[in-house]
Structure 1
Amino acid sequence: MDTRNRPKVSVCIVTYNHEKYIRGCLQSLVDQARNFLFEIVIADDCSTDNTRCIVQEYARKYPDIIRTFFHEKNIGPAKNYVFVHEQAVGEYIAHVDGDDYALPGKLQMQVDYLDSNPECNIVWHRMRLLNVAKDLLVDDLIDISSLPKTRFDRGDILRFITIGMNSSKMYRANVRDFPLPIFPVVDYFINVEQVGSGYAAFVGTEPLGVYRVGGGVASAGNLTRIVLRDSFLYFLSKYPKHAKDIGVAAFVLFVAALKNKQWSNVRLFGSVVLKTFRLETMSLILSSRKMVSMLKLPVDVRR
């Protein structure tokens, strides 16, 4: 590709049966004010509703911006995520799920931050949270001024699992590629690897996107939790110096499962807690409580 025409940013979108939401997602991105070239790369995972037609409509309307991929067989969200990010050619790569959408200023603020902070490999922003069933839109619980730190390294991501939401992420293309394990990967695994020897951060104090409540670890089925367990064990072997950080993450999920009487998950994460327990783990758990509380979904929007 002629580097003069290379987009500064690739916005990657995964979508499946999002006919109610994909139009809003795409419109929120093409409307972004910016001083750089960008592309939208969207992969539809064999939707059975009208999603494909809407995506095609936008591709015809914005042919210089939107590139589309339509899977003829459903490959699942994890493989579709990896696939669409592999197609990106921008210097920076952003991710937005097809049922979420961006707020004004998102792309420009994140690009400016990465341009000005060369050691930052991942930049997130705060999100607003939308519960459609309750017709309720609220801000997340993250108080930037009260964060225990402003730069998050690999240990922090291992410990807290989800710091920034997936649809708020932008990262450098040069950290995109890493060895994949034999099990499916979720955003937690990808963030741990992509942060590398640099750091992740929030771009500012204001929400720059909207997340529809109902996805992610908090509401996903047991398969996601199995993948998390496998990720913990994988990283315990690969990054043994971070055993205490992995132990904190496993302990938090173990306690949540115990509280909710989810006995299969108690066994799932209990085995990791036993493998990762260190004397310093308990003090680290206590010192992490404030951050953990800020990463929860507000009670009002929980399903």
Structure 2
Amino acid sequence: MEQDTDAEVEILVGNDCSTDCTKDILEKIEIAPDNFSMKVFNHSQNLGVAQNFCKLMEEVTGEYIVFLDGDDFMLPGKLSTQLDILKKNPEVNLVHHNVCEVNEDGVVTKQRRIKKGVAGSINDIFKACQSGIQSCSIVVRNPYIKDWSVIVPKDSKIVDLPFLLHSLGKGKVFYLNDVLSAYRVIDSSITRTTSVLTFEKNTRFHVRQTIDFGYAKRSFINTSLAASYIRSASAEIVNKKLKLASIYVWRALRLLPYPSNELLRTLLNLIKVVIKSAKS
């Protein structure tokens, strides 16, 4: 990790029956600094991404939480920079930064993945339709949620979004344009192998959860939900299921009595595609 920090750092690893050499590699890792320690949880059976996440979160005791998937990695200076911001700004619950993009061999393919990072509040995250924030860049204050399984169902394919939203709550988001982590693109990752429709269905579920918690304004939540319906409509057009695409477009329109110009243009273009495809 190459992190130079005075903070007490506990690394928690959930090995969910990995078929590669993960277990052997973890056993050989030596934690050199005295302020670093590591706990590895080797599951006897595959739990899936959601249950693995919830099990790990039950073990978290620290004041701050760093989210990092197994295929991504940190760059020097990440922890000290983000922890310093959280300590100096008590109103901030989440700090994130720009990331570079690397291939399976670790070769940089894109210097900056995020074009415009999100700052402000949870409303700004929904306004940006969850874009402009990468999970491997996140450090949050521990929200001390006792049972994450209530928030993240075991069949969910998404854990970073509910983690982000419920850790942030009503606090502030701080964005750094510095590149402090690497996001690895792998064809076999869950992001690449799960269908768009499944991801969007999970996304809408987790976005709707925030209504009950009162984290965000309903208008911004609706913007986020509408964007998800638009992405689902686009996927169904690719699948040549125009009736389903039309239903998703209609649902998006119902949520946006006053859509932004960008969303409105996207919706109109989708409607044109549906009509054109229906005629051909």
Q: Does residue 1:156 correspond to 2:134, yes or no?
A: no
Q: Does residue 1:41 correspond to 2:12, yes or no?
A: yes
Whole-angstrom distance in 2 between the partners of 1:190 and 1:266: 34
Report the CA distance between 1:234 and its aligned residue: 5.8
Tell me the TM-score normalized by structure 1.
0.70
Report the CA distance between 1:60 and its aligned residue: 7.4
Counterpart of 2:140, as a letter, is Y
Q: Does residue 1:199 correspond to 2:199, yes or no?
A: no
- Change in Cα spacing, 1:115 to 1:133, as seen in structure 2 (3 Å) is closer
Report the CA distance between 1:156 and its aligned residue: 2.2
Task: Tell whether the 8 Å contact from 1:247 to 1:281 is kept in structure 2 after alignment.
Answer: no
Tell me which residue corresponds to 1:88.
60
Tell me which moved more, 39-48 or 188-197.
Answer: 188-197
Q: Which of 235, 251, 262 in structure 2 is aligned with 1:274?
A: 251
- Change in Cα spacing, 1:175 to 1:156, as seen in structure 2 (3 Å) is farther
Tell me which residue corresponds to 1:5.
none
Tell me which residue corresponds to 1:174.
143
Q: Does residue 1:208 correspond to 2:157, yes or no?
A: no
> Which is greater in Rg?
2
Task: Tell whether the 8 Å contact from 1:58 to 1:66 is kept in structure 2 after alignment.
Answer: no
Secondary structure of 1:280 counterpart: coil
Task: Tell whether the 8 Å contact from 1:121 to 1:175 is kept in structure 2 after alignment.
Answer: no
Counterpart of 2:70, as a letter, is G
- Change in Cα spacing, 1:73 to 1:272, as seen in structure 2 (3 Å) is farther
Tell me which residue corresponds to 2:276.
none
Report the CA distance between 1:254 and its aligned residue: 3.4
Q: Which of 38, 42, 46 in structure 2 is aligned with 1:74?
A: 46
Whole-angstrom distance in 2 between the partners of 1:231 and 1:251: 10
1:93-116: per-residue Cα shift (whole Å, max 9, x none)?
Answer: 001111111100000011011112
Fraction of identical pairs, as percent = 22
Secondary structure of 1:174 counterpart: coil
Tell me which residue corresponds to 1:241.
218
Whole-angstrom distance in 1 between the partners of 2:22 and 2:241: 36
Tell me the TM-score normalized by structure 2.
0.75
Structure-to-structure mapping, 1:88-237, within 5 angstroms: 88-132=60-104, 135-143=107-115, 150-154=119-123, 156-157=125-126, 159-174=128-143, 176=145, 179-180=150-151, 182=153, 183-184=155-156, 185-202=158-175, 204-214=176-186, 219-222=192-195, 225-233=197-205, 235-236=207-208
- Change in Cα spacing, 1:180 to 1:77, as seen in structure 2 (3 Å) is same
Unaligned segments of structure 2, at least 5 residues: 212-216, 267-280
Task: Tell whether the 8 Å contact from 1:244 to 1:280 is kept in structure 2 after alignment.
Answer: no
1:142-169: per-residue Cα shift (whole Å, max 9, x none)?
Answer: 345xx6x632424524752243211111
Tell me which residue corresponds to 1:14.
none
Report the CA distance between 1:214 and its aligned residue: 3.1
Task: Tell whether the 8 Å contact from 2:101 to 2:182 is kept in structure 1 after alignment.
Answer: yes
Q: Which of 49, 52, 68 in structure 1 is aligned with 2:23?
A: 52
Unaligned segments of structure 1, at least 5 residues: 1-27, 289-303
Task: Tell whether the 8 Å contact from 1:125 to 1:207 is kept in structure 2 after alignment.
Answer: yes
Task: Tell whether the 8 Å contact from 2:100 to 2:110 is kept in structure 1 after alignment.
Answer: yes
Whole-angstrom distance in 2 between the partners of 1:83 and 1:264: 38
Tell me which residue corresponds to 1:16.
none
Report the CA distance between 1:195 and its aligned residue: 1.8
Report the CA distance between 1:218 and its aligned residue: 5.8
Report the CA distance between 1:87 and its aligned residue: 1.0
Report the CA distance between 1:190 and its aligned residue: 2.7
Tell me which moved more, 272-281 or 118-127.
Answer: 272-281
1:89-145: per-residue Cα shift (whole Å, max 9, x none)?
Answer: 11000011111111000000110111122122121111110123794432234345x
Task: Tell whether the 8 Å contact from 1:124 to 1:201 is kept in structure 2 after alignment.
Answer: yes
1:5-29: per-residue Cα shift (whole Å, max 9, x none)?
Answer: xxxxxxxxxxxxxxxxxxxxxxx2x
Counterpart of 1:38, as a letter, is V
Structure-to-structure mapping, 1:285-296, within 5 angstroms: 285=263
- Change in Cα spacing, 1:174 to 1:236, as seen in structure 2 (3 Å) is closer
Report the CA distance between 1:199 and its aligned residue: 2.4
